[in-house]
Amino acid sequence: MEKNTSSKTNGPGKISRMFLTLYDVGAFVTRFFKEAFLPPYEIKELVNQCYNIGYQSLILISTTGFITGVVFTKQSRPSLAEFGATSWLPSLVAIALLRTLAPLLTALIAAGKVGSSIGAELGSMRVTEQIDAMEVSATNPFKFLVSTRVMATTITIPILSFYTALVGMLGALLNVSLSEGTSAKAFFLSALESITFLDITASTIRSIIYGFTIGIVGCYQGYNSSKGTEGVGKAANSAVVIGMFLVFLEEVITVQFFSLFRTV
């Protein structure tokens, strides 16, 4: 009887904590939209965060994008060769990179690299009471720390996404040139011919959503981390895990949404 009673009391407790967490997240997101678009504007810090995010991810994104372009081209050639359609290879790579691979790869790399960095940085500031000190000194820590970082990820991730697509196309060009002797001009003309305005728009919107998600998750976990060094590690780990999970979830939803426009 005691075990049954304890299980019943623990159940509602977990459910109530879940709803409290959802409420806190909703309040956090709402506060961001209130703080981000009201003066004073932290333009200098926003530019600094954009630079840091791009600089931190540039080498890893460049390497990953280039390898993805090479490998995807190499793996796709045998399938197209069976139908005598190797001339479609540039178009296939361009569509795959711009529609799916580039935004998703960039978001996953940023979730691991940038999300963990934001979570750990804000978590350590919370543990060392730097955020509390900013509040005492009449500084708005939410606007300076959270709003600038979320806006920076929202701005920077789409730029990095198109950069990933470009680097991936260069990797594909290298593979095609070595295998078939295709010139760079012919390769890019064939690739860009298959790209539509809807592809560019969908890729941009998805990247913006991913960037906002990564920034808001990292900031929420770090800003609300528990006291102690253990809380800093937990905030960084949660920022990566939750950020990646939400990116995959948003990938499924956005792909289904934009596929409706392609069938029209």
Is the CB of residue 90 less than 8 Å from the CB of residue 176?
A: yes
CB within 8 Å of 145: residues ≥ 6 apart: 122, 125, 131, 134, 219, 223
Please state the length of the chain: 264
Tens digit of pLDDT at every position of the chain (264 positions): 444 444 444 445 778 878 888 888 889 999 899 888 888 888 899 999 999 888 878 899 999 999 999 999 888 888 887 777 777 888 888 888 988 899 999 999 999 889 999 999 998 888 888 888 887 887 788 888 999 999 999 999 999 999 999 999 999 999 888 887 778 888 888 888 888 888 899 999 999 999 999 999 999 998 888 767 777 888 888 899 999 999 999 999 998 888 888 765
Distance CA 71, CA 133 (A): 50
DSSP string, 166-186: HHHHHHHHHHHHHHH---HHH
User: What are the boundaries of each domain within the chain?
Assistant: 39-262
